[in-house]
Amino acid sequence: MRNIRQQSLVTAVPVAVPESFEPQQYDGSGLSFAQIFSIVRAHLELASVIVFSIIVITALVVKFLPKTYTSTATMIVNYQVSQGGTEIPPWLIGTYMATQIELMRTSEVLLPVVEQLDLTHDPEFISGFSGGDAAALRNFTEAALDKQLTVEQGRGSQLLYVTAAARSPIKAAQIANAVADVYSRNEKQRLKDPADDRARSYTKELAELQAKVMAAQQKVTDLRQQTGTSPISNENSAPGADSDTLTLVSLEQQLLQAQNTRRAAESETNIAPVGSNGSGATSPQIQELNTDIVTKKLQLSQLSATYGPRHPKVLELQSELDSARRNLKQEVGRYLNDARQVEEKLQRAVDAQRQKILAVRMVQDQGAKLQLELQSTQSVYKRALDGYDQIVFASAGKSTNVSFVSRAAVPVEASKPNKVKYLLIGSFFAVLFGIASPVLYELLFDRRLHCRDDFERHFGIPVLAQFGAVQLLEAPK
């Protein structure tokens, strides 16, 4: 006798029944939860084997998956001051940080890292290379390195996190530090190059200014040596303030006196008769001759009245008077000629003195111009020289807007694969496949009846009663 556990169902044969006893209509589409549960329970051993097998396979796959280690280097970027030395507007800070992240992933940074770590001979980074020259290999390695690199900005901060992934923990730390070092070096050079260019340009301009100062100083020196004037000035002094002006004034006064004397002599010669008593502006000789002539004329008139015009004494006196008049005329001529000569001489002296003063003033003006040019170039050179130290200091300085907060350390544990996560995912799919496999098998190959829903949903036959497991007695053989 053998015990067989099964469910017994009592079904009703479809016959005509009153409308009040007509069974409800069942939807025959799909499977109910009770049907699925019954199928799985009927194939529990098979489902358990499937679930266990998939979990074991998942565990083995996870066990032998290659490990990936990640290491992160933290950097701080000072975006308060840009490369040109000006403050960055607040609305450009986000763009500035995004630019720095893009710069860190460019060939300018990645190719030096590839060369430094010799990644072109690393199987991890050249796996899948289809062939080509050295440049193609470097580009392929750079692309592979970029895929293993992650650069992120801290939330609302100036921090940049450079994360590198590799199968070796040491290599991951080396890559992260190398990328950060090359980026920092490039940024420092990017700041230093404009400063160096400015220093070179400033030095060249300073040399040119120095040459201009020396040339201006040489011009001033040459002018002083040529003219003998020292110092050269352009002071607006009043007339008579220097010896040349005083001399000119004195000569002009003398010329004026000579001109007055000459005019007086001409006036007396042209207007007054010879032998008349003039204004007294003539020379003493002329005055003496005039006095002598007047005396002789008086004597002549007296003698002529006494002796008559033909008397020898009258004739002698008349001869002396004529001689005195001739002498007076000659003396007046000489006096007028001397006055004119003195005037001409003084006029030439005045003209010469004026030319001398004009020449001196011209030299002074030229010297003042050269002196002003010298002072201007010296002033510009001094201001440039005062700022030269700052330019040289900026060029020689090692300031940078990027610095390390922490360098990448060698990771202790692998970041990938996440074994627990993969095992949970594998267990989920194992249970799902373990449930789905018996259901699909019965639906496609061997459909059986397990519960009342199989009758009611698929055949539309109402189930009147359902019994639990019963024991069947098997007859002895």
pLDDT digits (tens, 9 = 90+) for 112-169: 998 988 888 888 888 888 877 888 888 899 888 888 888 888 776 778 888 988 888 8
- The residue among 229 and 285 whose pLDDT is bigger is 285
* b/e code 216-230 from CB counts within 10 Å (16+ = b): beebbeebbeebeee
Mean pLDDT of 59-69: 81
CATH of domain 69-200+398-406: 3.30.1890
Cα separation of 402 and 81, whole Å? 11
Q: Which of the four pLDDT bands, split at 50, 70 and 90, describes residue 41? A: confident
> Residue 149 half-sphere exposure, CB side, CA atoms within 13 Å?
28
Tell me the per-residue pLDDT of 404-414, one tens digit each, with 9 for 90 and over: 788 888 888 77
Q: What is the pLDDT of residue 365?
A: 77
pLDDT at 94: 67
- Which pLDDT band, with edges at 50, 70 and 90, does 215 fall under? confident
| pLDDT at residue 47, as a whole number | 83
Joined tokens for residue 283: 């020379």
Question: Lowest mean pLDDT: which of 42-56, 108-122, 143-157, 386-400?
Answer: 386-400
| pLDDT above 50 for 343 | yes
Percent over 90 (pLDDT), the chain: 0
Q: Name the average pLDDT for the chain.
A: 75
For Cα atoms 423, 424, 429, give the angle at the middle one, nearest 5 degrees.
95
Residue 465 β-bridge partners: 10
Token pair for 309: 């015009």
d(CA 342, CA 254): 9
Q: pLDDT-based confidence at 399, cuts 50/70/90?
A: low
For residue 125, give the nearest of 180, 69, 167, 163 by alpha carbon.
167
pLDDT tens digits, 308-320: 777 787 788 788 8
Determine if the pTM surpasses 0.75. no
- Most confident range (mean pLDDT) of 96-100, 189-193, 390-394, 453-457 is 96-100
Per-residue pLDDT, 83: 46
Q: From CA 165, how far away is CA 415, in angstroms rounded? A: 9
Name the range with the highest mean pLDDT among 193-197, 231-235, 349-353, 461-465: 349-353
Distant-in-sequence, close-in-space partners of 102: CB < 8 Å, separation ≥ 6: none
Q: What is the pLDDT of residue 307?
A: 75
Rounded to whole angstroms, the Cα distance separating 164 from 302 reads 150
Higher pLDDT, 384 or 160: 160
Does residue 476 or residue 289 have the better pLDDT? 289
Cα dist from 470 to 3, 5, 6, 110, 473, whole Å: 8, 6, 6, 77, 10
**Predicted pLDDT at 87:** 54
How confident is the model over 420-437, as a mean pLDDT?
86
Separation between Cα atoms, residue 290 and residue 284, nearest integer Å? 10
Domain with CATH 3.30.1890 in the chain: 69-200+398-406
Place of tokens 């061997």: 446
Compute CA distances 147 → 40, 96, 151, whole Å.
45, 23, 11
> Over the stretch 225-250, which tens digit does the pLDDT of each residue have?
777 665 545 444 444 446 878 888 88
Q: Nearest-CA neighbor of 460 among 10, 20, 24?
A: 24
With helix as H, strand as E and coil as C, how does the chain read? CCCCCCCEEEECCCCCCCHHHCCCCCCCCCCCHHHHHHHHHHCHHHHHHHHHHHHHHHHHHHHHCCCEEEEEEEEEECCCECCCCCECCHHHHHHHHHHHHHHHCCHHHHHHHHHHHCHHHCHHHHCCCCCCCHHHHHHHHHHHHHHCEEEEECCCCCEEEEEEEECCHHHHHHHHHHHHHHHHHHHHHHHHHHHHHHHHHHHHHHHHHHHHHHHHHHHHHHHHHHHCCCCCCCCCCCCCCCHHHHHHHHHHHHHHHHHHHHHHHHHHHHHCCCCCCCCCCCCHHHHHHHHHHHHHHHHHHHHHHHHCCCCHHHHHHHHHHHHHHHHHHHHHHHHHHHHHHHHHHHHHHHHHHHHHHHHHHHHHHHHHHHHHHHHHHHHHHHHHHHHHHHHHHHHHCCCCCEEEEECCCCCCCCCECCHHHHHHHHHHHHHHHHHHHHHHHHHHCCCCCCCHHHHHHHCCCCEEEEECCCCCCCCCC
Q: How far is CA 197 from CA 68, 87, 182, 218, 394, in A?
A: 45, 21, 22, 32, 11
| pLDDT value at 10 more than 60 | no
